Structure 1
Amino acid sequence: MTTAALRSLLEQKRLLVMPCCHDALSAKLIQQAGFPATFMSGFAVSAARLGLPDTGLISFGEMLDQARTICRAVSIPVLGDGDTGYGNALNIKRTVREYAAAGLACVMIEDQVSPKRCGHTQGKQVVGFDEACLRIRAAVDAREEGADILIMARTDARGPAGLEEALQRLQAFHRLGADLLFLEAPRSIEEMERFCREVPGYKMANQIEHGLTPLLSPEELQRLGFAIAAYPLTLLQALISALEKALSDLAAGHHPQGLRDFEHVKAVLGFPEYYRQEQHYAASDRRD
């Protein structure tokens, strides 16, 4: 159902603005704010769940568990970071099937050497062209064999191998049947424009504050030809900023200002609906 909803959103030909989540609460807030989809960011999950950097330290099982929790909390389509697929072609097929079973609408598979790392940090490397294509072919095969999920193919080749190699990989990924394409860390508007012009299919822009890629307005991203604008760290950055400010205030002997009131917090978490159902079943017991 969520896969069909994501396809429908893409077919509307309007830029899909997509804040990224790291847990069930952040996903619920994204849905409550009116956004039609979200993305489970590997960087943000590693930070929130483990308190560790996005350098391949989080496991397949931990990411899968987080995906299940997030998908149960919302009804909007959730895209998910599948990293390198967690092994060889058969591992990749399992990752795709398990992510689909967890409720994700799309899984992203990339071409970094394992253990992978955030695409906007130093030291990343990519596998060879043939190995990169094999990963996407395995993911597409899993979809064709019945996994109800879209495949996003990502390349990190721009940094270690150059833009031409990255574009060749993305063109090959499209021919192999990937539903969405993602060029990680283009360095200029001109590179983003070439990506949109020279690679067919739906394309995602990764908008990281203070990252390597230019931050553009939604209107400019749509004009260039992007289908999705993802904001992978915006909520995590906002969370860290707010927590640090509150902790600083408490350490200085002041009560933090600007906090949402308790009633709002309860409403976000679903207490009113819980109370409604509680009363409904209490009334049923009395009738019985």
Structure 2
Amino acid sequence: MTKAETLRRLLAQDICHVMPCCFDALSAKLIAQEGYDLTFMSGFAASASRIGAPDLGLMSYGEVVDQARNIADAIPIPLIADGDTGYGNAMNVRRTVAGFARAGCGAIMIEDQLAPKRCGHTPGKAVVGRQEAFDRIRAAADERELLRAQGGDILILARTDARHEHGLSEAIDRATQFAELGADILFVEAPKTVEEMRQVCDNLPGPKMANIVEGGETPDLPVDELRDIGFSIAAYPLSLMAAAMQAMVTSLRGMRRDERPGQMDFKELRHRIGFDAYYETSEAYASSRRE
């Protein structure tokens, strides 16, 4: 079963999947080891991790797809990757979708922001006009169908940030059209109240994703409540990065006092990275080392 097929089966379940978001292969590997069913490569976190810079459209298509490929190769669960605006016009969107499918992603997110895009919970973001937004999703869906005809597959997660500039009604209208154009998952970014979250789910078909940023604009609700509202996925884009950064800062400050606070022991660290599995598998070839 492909990662895309696995993701479709997960979305058909009557639950809201908790989706911790990764930023590199190691963070994704930890997510899979802890038993989560899917993950998302957060553009915010990947930009911080890979180039040490904010998520303001600075990472190129090549850098992002390379990061996604490394992550997808490291885990058995589906990865949803952040394809930003598709990196250009509709033809660029098609190339982007194909590239992420080849990289092993189960789904790709395409959004309607103006380039360069911005994190959805930061100021200054703007969206393109309706027709350009629709062309992006139409192109993504067309490429998905071509891939499926050729034996490949990927899901399209269509995102709108129109709530910020134009209000919730416009965002819902755009997402409705995204679904009609063939999007598999819908994502209205940054509803500001529980009532707005309900309106999103009540008015849109198919699977919906909630994006929970601690300290962000969308209410941080319990997962059971998100399911009752109608969400299929609860994404937590910054939880792991924030925890990792805090742990590193704490350790760095402790080292000045000759302390090693909160470290994972070396045995578990080796195991989680994969040393034990490597040595176990390599024993099958031990005879070649004795010759």
Q: What's the TM-score, normalizing by structure 1?
A: 0.97
Query: What's the offset of the Cα at 1:257?
Result: 2.0
Deviation of 1:161 (Å)? 1.1
- 2:211 alignment partner, one of 196, 206, 214: 206
Structure 1 residues 139-172: Cα deviation after superposition (integer angstroms, max 9, x where no partner): 0000011251000000000001111110100111
User: Of 273, 281, 286, which aligns to 1:277?
Assistant: 281
Matches of 1:145 and 1:115, distance apart in 2: 28
Partner AA of 1:282 in structure 2: A
Q: Which residue of 2 aligns with 1:265?
A: 269
Matching residue's letter, 1:202: P
Residue matched to 1:230: 235
**Aligned runs of 1:238-257 on 2, under 5 Å?**
238-251=243-256, 253-257=257-261
The one-letter code sitting in structure 1 at the alignment partner of 2:208 is K
2:91: which partner in 1? 90
Q: What is the TM-score when the length of structure 2 is the normalising length?
A: 0.96
Which 4+ runs in 1 deviate beyond 6 A?
Answer: none
Q: Give 3-state SS (helix, strand or coil) of 1:159's partner.
A: helix
Find out whether 1:141 has 2:142 as its counterpart.
yes
Structure 2 unmatched runs, 5+? none
Structure 2 equivalent of residue 177 of structure 1 = 182
Q: 2 CA distance for matches of 1:119 and 1:258?
A: 32
Task: Return the offset for 1:282.
Answer: 1.3
Name which of structure 1's ranges 253-262 and 147-156 shifts more when overlaid on structure 2: 253-262
How far does residue 216 in structure 1 lie from its aligned partner after superposition?
0.4
CA distance, structure 2, for counterparts of residue 232 and residue 186 of structure 1:
16
- Partner AA of 1:246 in structure 2: S
1:200-249 C-alpha deviation (Å, 9 max, x unpaired): 11100001100010000000000000000000000000011101111111
What is the SS of the residue equivalent to 1:109? Answer: strand
1:264 alignment partner AA? E
Partner in structure 1 of residue 37 of structure 2? 36
Provide the rounded CA distance (Å) in 1 between the counterparts of 2:216 and 2:288: 56
In the TM superposition, what are the counterparts of 1:122-161 in structure 2 within 5 Å? 122-146=123-147, 147-161=152-166
After TM superposition, give the deviation of residue 280 of structure 1 in Å: 2.1
CA-to-aligned-CA distance 1:177-210 (integer Å, 9 cap, x gap): 1000001011000000000001111100001100
SS in 2 for 1:113: coil
Listed one character per residue, the Cα deviations across residues 112-142 of structure 1 (whole Å, up to 9, x for unaligned) are 0000000100000000011111110000000
- Cα distance in 2 for partners of 1:151, 1:229 equals 17
| TM-aligned CA deviation for residue 284 of structure 1 | 5.0
